[in-house]
Chains A and B, each alone.
Chain A
Amino acid sequence: MATQLTPKDFATATPSWWCPGCGDFGVLAALKQSCAELSLQPKDVAFISGIGCSGKISGYLHSYAFHGVHGRALPTATAVKLGNKDLTVIVAGGDGDGYAIGAGHFLHAVRRNPDMTYIVMDNQTYGLTKGQSSPTSMLGYLSGTSPAGNPDAPLNGLAVALAAGGTFLARAFSSEPKAMVEMIKEAVRHPGFAIVEVMSPCVTFNKVNTYKWFKENVYHLSDIEGYDPSNRAKAFDVLTQHGKIPLGVFYREIRPTFEALTLKDSPAIAGLDIDRIDPKLAELQEAYA
């Protein structure tokens, strides 16, 4: 019987490369807290991240972590889960990773509904390359690559995911750790592809969407009387309204996971005995004889 772990048990010895004050610290803390509260064991957690400031998070969570190439964390994670469905698979990446270079994979992960959690650490800029526009930067955002103002409308990732068949959609703010922990825990428990988008301010390059700006520009779904996260139309309505940014769990739906549909009841693939050649294999040659 494993002892109850604390957030510290999910820490690594690697010092963080993030700037002081970065919103990503809040995400990491909430993630460790969630893992501990969910009684997960580090050996059973596969943590896959993308590239960018956010992608570095995989080095800081004590687990089996994989820091892949830019935008491809979701396909990697999908296969990790298929390979060993007993693992708890968590993916983290930034807005650029998930909504720009990895946007295609994002849509298809949503369609497939693998049982995993995807944390999108949204800072509305490209931090690691020093502050260019990102797919969630606001119109008119001034940056090195948009000196005349960002001409591209920001992508509404959660609304896109809902349209594509998303089964769990939530948004948190890195300054609200308690709420974020609850959302992440719920996401991990959700049997399907659970997205938690976290507003995670970049204190160095994004001088528009600051902690102060967020505090003035967010509201909570709990403020909406009788909000029902099983109501897809309402979720779409709330997600696509202009104005202040809603936080909370927008939508929840249960439908079969990718693993359930592809693996059915078979055991975890990684545990199969492949060392002995199955004698049945020889019969396959008869079709060619």
Chain B
Amino acid sequence: MIVNDIEVLFGGQAGDGSLTTGDLIATVFKRMGLDVYTFKDFPSRIRGGHTNYIIRAGEHPHYGVADYVDAMVAFDLECVEKHVDEMRPGGFIIFDNTSEQLTEAVRRADVTYYEVPLAKIAKEDLGLELVRNTISLGVLSQLTGMDPAIVRSLVTRQYERKGEKVVAQNIGAVEAGENYVKEHFASTPSGYGLRARPDVDRLIMMGNDAIGYGALAAGCRFMAGYPITPATDILEWMAKHAPKYGGVVVQAEDELAAINMVIGAAFAGVRAMTATSGPGQALMTEGIGLAAVTETPIVVVECARAGPSTGMPTKTEQSNLNHLIFSGHGEVPRVVLAPGSVEESFYLTVGAFNLAEKYQVPVFILSEQAMCQSKETTPRLDLSAVRVDRGKLHRNGPLTFGEYKRYEFTQDGVSPRAIPGTEGGMHLVPGSEHNDAGVITEDARNRVRIMDKRMHKLVSMRPDLPKAIVHGDRSAGVAFIGYGSNRGPIGEAQDRLAAAGVPSRFLQLRTLWPFPEEEVRDFLAGAQHIFVVENNMTGQVERLVRYVTGPMPNMHRVLKYSGRPFRPIEIIEAVLEVVPHSNGVVPDRTSQPVHSAAPAS
């Protein structure tokens, strides 16, 4: 059987260029009209240490890794040792046997090994050690049936900046790889004849780039940040692009400065954001309280990684949700949004800026390493769908001093904002408690009234909060709840469970705070088995759900906190442990998606 679905693991030592070649492979698959998802599994160091890049391609979007690796390109024995257990029966491994040999321990009877002296060919035949990765691309291409013309055109594009000679060297390397396979291997692996489809007008984009692009489209013209994995890409993306649109990016001395800069820029009337990860978020906590109490609209991107403390800086986790929702002294309104794909990362970022300004609150965009640093094929991002809603921002002419009140009590809790430079709008913006005019006061009656005003915004914003998406069969007995990068593996588990006679419904939360109590309650009506799927140890979302539902004996936590994303089979197995199924066999993969792609909003 030919399966037009493949997961390639490309691995070796950090700094050896495997990320570049991995990107190239992903783009080849994209040009072949396949849907692509990539996952970077790299160490927190620059050179050395095992690193690998997973590229998954198939005939419908997965938004996540598969159960197994189909094809491994291993530049050293360590890569095979670490990942041979993840190989699909019938899969194959391309191994560079120049300086190391495969050991008995890594040989599996159900896996085919293609030993190719990649480094030797590079050095001795081509005279250029650097092209080792490109040779492996030729080998992989020949073994899987990549389109040779596409491979050549992308290799050319990749290296044309470096001149004709480098392009020719790399094209030669691709050919050397292809020829080696033709000359040395009688058979090629069965089932991996990839078929190209027409490449419709799509993008292949990383989550962090989509966030940067969304911010720029939404009118963000100020960003301050402190470099931190896995959020730095956004700071770099904005530093590259924002100045062309009149914006500015500041590398702050720390996250305390970054968040206060963002607040300062927003106070001046600029759409502003920062991006960070757990450790930086910890430092920004005081700033979040300040933004909320001063009703200054800011957007904070949190690209979550494995904690606590320094944790595992390059690994994925969903353990920072509690921090975003509950951190800080005092009680303040805030919003937490969680995109479930690269495409949603763009649209929810646009939405975050509108929510922030319309309700004058800090808005978090919560992504994760497994999504923010992953690439996905995605439809073109629709700029005509972008609306800039600046809310009650006073922009027309002078105000009358004495009449204008920055924190005027209103029905929706939102007061008109005047920015510096506006005649007659002078006021104090205090982090201390204040009255409607911004004058600091500890008056008891005022305190209650202004607390109520600020917190009421959580109620008035409800119609504007991104709705959760229900995937699958709304009336099914099996119900999943999850968010973010788990949208992919849950969706795929649903497809395969359905094919085995176990239909399910899946509530993909996109607003995590204020917690969508009604949506959760409605969704759970009639559910027989509930599975809350999260990349953390303590079930942070499951606890939030329980606040809404009370104790639920049929609610199960499906947790993974190894720093790696779920593979769909792990979710399927968790379900089948408690849910009886008649068909008995859950397909390894499905050819047709059951769940629909999420609509943009």
Please give the residue numbers on chain A whose beta carbons come within 8 Å of chain B beta carbons, in ascending order. Answer: 12, 14, 42-46, 48, 51, 56, 58-59, 62-69, 71-72, 75-80, 82-84, 86-87, 104-105, 107-108, 262-263, 266-267, 269-270, 272, 274-275, 277-278, 280-282, 284-285, 288-289
Cβ of A270 and Cβ of B219 under 8 Å apart?
no
Q: A83-B268, A87-B268 are in contact. Are A67 and B256 (CB under 8 A)?
A: no
Q: A43-B421, A84-B268 are in contact. Are A65 and B428 (CB under 8 A)?
A: yes
Instruction: For B290, give its contact among A58, A68, A77, A262 (CB under 8 Å).
Output: A68
Instruction: For B256, give its contact among A45, A72, A83 (CB under 8 Å).
Output: A72
Instruction: For A262, give its contact among B250, B268, B272, B440 (CB under 8 Å).
Output: B250
Cβ of B419 and Cβ of A270 under 8 Å apart?
yes
Cβ of A59 and Cβ of B440 under 8 Å apart?
yes
Instruction: For A66, give its contact among B221, B267, B386 (CB under 8 Å).
Output: B267
A264 (CB) vs chain B CBs: closest residue: B243
Query: In the complex, A237→B381 CA distance in Å?
Result: 61
Cβ of B381 and Cβ of A67 under 8 Å apart?
no
B265 touches A (CB below 8 Å): yes
Cβ of B432 and Cβ of A87 under 8 Å apart?
no
Cβ of B260 and Cβ of A68 under 8 Å apart?
yes
Query: In the complex, A75→B202 CA distance in Å?
Result: 41
CB distance from B402 to the nearest CB of A (A): 9
CB distance from B212 to the nearest CB of A (A): 9
Query: In the complex, A44→B222 CA distance in Å?
Result: 20
Cβ of A69 and Cβ of B380 under 8 Å apart?
no
Cβ of A82 and Cβ of B424 under 8 Å apart?
no
Cβ of A79 and Cβ of B386 under 8 Å apart?
no
Cβ of A104 and Cβ of B265 under 8 Å apart?
no
With A75-B261, A281-B245 already in contact, 19 other A-B pairs whose C-beta atoms are closer than 8 Å:
A14-B439, A56-B440, A59-B430, A59-B439, A65-B428, A67-B430, A79-B222, A79-B262, A83-B265, A83-B269, A83-B272, A108-B252, A272-B245, A274-B388, A275-B390, A277-B383, A282-B383, A285-B213, A285-B380
Instruction: For B270, give its contact among A59, A63, A269 (CB under 8 Å).
Output: A269
Cβ of B420 and Cβ of A104 under 8 Å apart?
no
CB distance from B203 to the nearest CB of A (A): 4
Those 6 A-B pairs whose CB atoms lie nearest each other, nearest first: A274-B219, A83-B268, A79-B264, A64-B420, A76-B264, A79-B261
Cβ of B265 and Cβ of A82 under 8 Å apart?
yes
Residues of A within 8 Å of B209, CB to CB, are 288
Cβ of A288 and Cβ of B254 under 8 Å apart?
no
B210 (CB) vs chain A CBs: closest residue: A288
| Of listed B264, B386, B426, residue having the most chain A CB within 10 A | B264
A278 (CB) vs chain B CBs: closest residue: B245
Residues of A within 8 Å of B426, CB to CB, are 42-43, 62-65
| Of listed B222, B266, B429, residue having the most chain A CB within 10 A | B429
Instruction: For A44, give its contact among B216, B263, B421, B431 (CB under 8 Å).
Output: B421
A88 (CB) vs chain B CBs: closest residue: B420
Residues of A within 8 Å of B67, CB to CB, are none
Q: A67-B430, A75-B261, A277-B217 are in contact. Are A43 and B270 (CB under 8 A)?
A: no
Instruction: For B383, give its contact among A51, A262, A281 (CB under 8 Å).
Output: A281
| Of listed A58, A59, A270, A280, residue having the most chain B CB within 10 A | A270
Cβ of A269 and Cβ of B420 under 8 Å apart?
no
Cβ of A82 and Cβ of B431 under 8 Å apart?
no
Cβ of A269 and Cβ of B267 under 8 Å apart?
no
Residues of A within 8 Å of B250, CB to CB, are 78-79, 82, 262
Cβ of A65 and Cβ of B431 under 8 Å apart?
no
Cβ of B253 and Cβ of A105 under 8 Å apart?
yes
Query: In the complex, A277→B381 CA distance in Å?
Result: 13
Residues of A within 8 Å of B420, CB to CB, are 43-46, 64, 80, 84, 87, 270
Instruction: For A84, give its contact among B224, B244, B421 (CB under 8 Å).
Output: B421
Q: A46-B420, A62-B426 are in contact. Are A270 and B269 (CB under 8 A)?
A: yes
Cβ of A75 and Cβ of B256 under 8 Å apart?
yes
CB distance from B246 to the nearest CB of A (A): 5
Query: In the complex, A288→B237 CA distance in Å?
Result: 13
B422 (CB) vs chain A CBs: closest residue: A43
Cβ of B421 and Cβ of A275 under 8 Å apart?
no
Residues of B within 8 Å of A281, CB to CB, are 213, 216-217, 245, 383
Query: In the complex, A272→B221 CA distance in Å?
Result: 9
| Of listed A42, A86, A284, residue having the most chain B CB within 10 A | A284
Cβ of B248 and Cβ of A67 under 8 Å apart?
no
Query: In the complex, A83→B247 CA distance in Å?
Result: 9
Cβ of B431 and Cβ of A69 under 8 Å apart?
yes
Residues of A within 8 Å of B270, CB to CB, are 83-84, 269-270
**Can you list, as one digit per residue, whether each of B380-413 has a CB less than 8 Å from chain A (1) or not (0)?**
1101101010100000000000000000000000
Cβ of A272 and Cβ of B386 under 8 Å apart?
no
Cβ of B264 and Cβ of A66 under 8 Å apart?
yes
Query: In the complex, A123→B426 CA distance in Å?
Result: 29
| Of listed B205, B222, B268, residue having the most chain A CB within 10 A | B268
B286 touches A (CB below 8 Å): yes
Cβ of B202 and Cβ of A289 under 8 Å apart?
yes
Instruction: For A76, give its contact among B247, B267, B419, B423 (CB under 8 Å).
Output: B267
B201 touches A (CB below 8 Å): yes
Query: In the complex, A78→B264 CA distance in Å?
Result: 8
Residues of A within 8 Å of B217, CB to CB, are 277, 281
B254 (CB) vs chain A CBs: closest residue: A104
CB distance from B356 to the nearest CB of A (A): 13
B204 touches A (CB below 8 Å): yes
Q: A270-B269, A281-B216 are in contact. Are A43 and B264 (CB under 8 A)?
A: no
CB distance from A288 to the nearest CB of B (A): 4
Instruction: For B246, give its contact among A45, A48, A76, A267 (CB under 8 Å).
Output: A267
Instruction: For A269, give its contact among B246, B286, B423, B429 (CB under 8 Å).
Output: B246
Residues of A within 8 Å of B358, CB to CB, are none
B271 touches A (CB below 8 Å): yes
**Can you list, as one digit per residue, whether each of B255-298 has a CB less than 8 Å from chain A (1) or not (0)?**
01110111111111111100000000000001101100010000
Cβ of A69 and Cβ of B265 under 8 Å apart?
no
Cβ of B248 and Cβ of A262 under 8 Å apart?
yes
B425 touches A (CB below 8 Å): yes
CB distance from B236 to the nearest CB of A (A): 14
Q: A43-B422, A67-B428 are in contact. Are A289 and B221 (CB under 8 A)?
A: no
**Can you list, as one digit per residue, whether each of B419-450 has a CB less than 8 Å from chain A (1) or not (0)?**
11111111111111000000110000000000
Residues of B within 8 Å of A64, CB to CB, are 267, 419-421, 425-427, 429
Cβ of A69 and Cβ of B260 under 8 Å apart?
yes
| Complex A-B: 26 CB contacts under 8 Å | A12-B428, A43-B423, A44-B420, A64-B429, A66-B267, A67-B432, A67-B440, A69-B260, A69-B289, A71-B256, A72-B256, A76-B263, A76-B264, A77-B264, A78-B261, A79-B260, A79-B265, A80-B268, A82-B222, A83-B265, A270-B269, A277-B217, A281-B245, A285-B380, A285-B381, A288-B205
